[in-house]
């Protein structure tokens, strides 16, 4: 797990940048979403913003998913570049969000910011709800089923009942 003390880091700097290699067992991706078999490369640049932090992330790696149509396993690239605003958890009971606020993540402790949780969140957001190994997976399968469908009448004709 990668934990950062943001409070301490930004006492002396205006910008923090670092590269990490995160092990699959540290990411703890839920098994029903997919499986990470190899380490994920992560580069981050963090800058302090008004009451929050801006985190620029470059993620490189892949997740093994199961195609929702043909059930074969395939590799999905989860590599992406993302900018996320990270704020402390809201203290009010009701929070109103603007569309710009949807790219926000929250942290509990500024002195123990868990970068691995943010990485896991971004990987989960990149996994499709219905994964497909290819866009045209089994499109011809439905057509061939319609052509080869036998009816009760066909079976009775073959058995010479009719």
Let me know if residue 55 belongs to a domain. Answer: yes
Let me know if residue 32 belongs to a domain. Answer: yes
What is the Cα–Cα distance from 78 to 63, expressed in whole angstroms?
A: 7
Let me know if residue 50 belongs to a domain. Answer: yes
Quick one: average pLDDT of 21-41?
93
Containing domain of residue 109, as a range? 3-134
Let me know if residue 142 belongs to a domain. Answer: no
Which whole-number Å values give the CA distances from 64 to 58, 75, 83, 92, 107, in the listed order? 19, 5, 25, 39, 28
Let me know if residue 139 belongs to a domain. Answer: no
* pLDDT confidence of residue 90: 72
Residue 154 neighbours by CB under 8 Å, 6+ apart: none
Give the alpha-carbon dihedral of 63, 68, 71, 76, to 10 degrees.
-20
Q: Domain count of the chain?
A: 1
Quick one: average pLDDT of 25-47?
93
Token pair listed for 137: 């997976």
DSSP character at residue 32: T
- Among candidates 69, 72, 73, 46, which has minimal Cα distance to 137? 69
Specify the 3-state DSSP secondary structure of 4.
strand
Let me know if residue 156 belongs to a domain. Answer: no
pTM: 0.76
Let me know if residue 140 belongs to a domain. Answer: no
Let me know if residue 64 belongs to a domain. Answer: yes
What is the Cα–Cα distance from 6 to 115, expressed in whole angstroms?
A: 11
pLDDT of 21 strictly over 60: yes
pLDDT of 120 strictly over 90: yes
Quick one: average pLDDT of 116-138?
90
Token pair listed for 44: 């981050």
Reported in sequence order, the residue ranges of 5-143 that DSSP labels E, i.e. its strands, are 15-22, 40-49, 52-60, 62-66, 73-77, 80-88, 104-107, 113-114
């Amino acid at each position: 797990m990668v934990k950062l003390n943001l409070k301490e880091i930004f006492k002396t700097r205006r910008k923090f940048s670092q590269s990490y290699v995160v092990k699959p067992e540290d990411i703890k991706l839920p098994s029903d979403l997919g499986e990470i078999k190899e380490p994920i490369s992560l580069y981050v640049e963090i800058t302090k913003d008004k009451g929050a932090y801006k985190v620029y992330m470059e993620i490189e790696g892949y997740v093994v998913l199961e195609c929702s149509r043909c059930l074969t396993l395939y590799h999905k690239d989860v590599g992406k570049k993302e900018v996320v605003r990270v704020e402390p958890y809201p203290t009010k009971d009701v929070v109103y969000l603007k569309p710009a606020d949807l790219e926000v993540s929250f942290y509990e402790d500024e002195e123990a910011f868990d970068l691995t949780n943010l990485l896991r969140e971004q990987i989960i957001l990149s996994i499709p709800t219905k994964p497909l190994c290819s866009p045209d997976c089994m499109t011809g399968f439905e057509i061939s089923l319609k052509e080869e469908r036998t009816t009760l009448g066909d079976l009775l004709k073959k058995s010479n009942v009719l």
